[in-house]
């Protein structure tokens, strides 16, 4: 998947975020590394990073 930072922003090869581009779930690089332990295991991280991305997009910092 696409590499992201801690705000779920897709990052370039140089580590800089691509403005306005976010990736979560199976579109982002897995928090499990190269393994896929089972169906549904990425739902938790997808929900969490979706929340983080939405807060970042809205400008909420608290």
Half-sphere exposure in the Cβ direction for 53 (13 Å, CA): 20
Q: What is the DSSP letter of 30?
A: P
> What are the angstrom distances between the C-alpha of 46 and each of 8, 17, 28?
10, 19, 9
Per-residue tens of pLDDT for the chain, all 62 residues: 899 999 999 999 999 999 999 999 888 887 777 777 888 888 999 999 999 999 999 998 75
Instruction: Check residue 13 and give its pLDDT.
Output: 95
């Amino acid at each position: 998947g696409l590499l992201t930072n801690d705000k779920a922003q897709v990052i370039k090869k140089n580590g800089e975020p691509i403005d306005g581009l976010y990736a979560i779930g199976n579109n982002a690089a897995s928090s499990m590394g190269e393994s896929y332990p089972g169906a549904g295991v990425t739902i938790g991280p997808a929900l969490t990073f979706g929340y983080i991305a939405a807060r970042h997009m809205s400008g909420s910092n608290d």
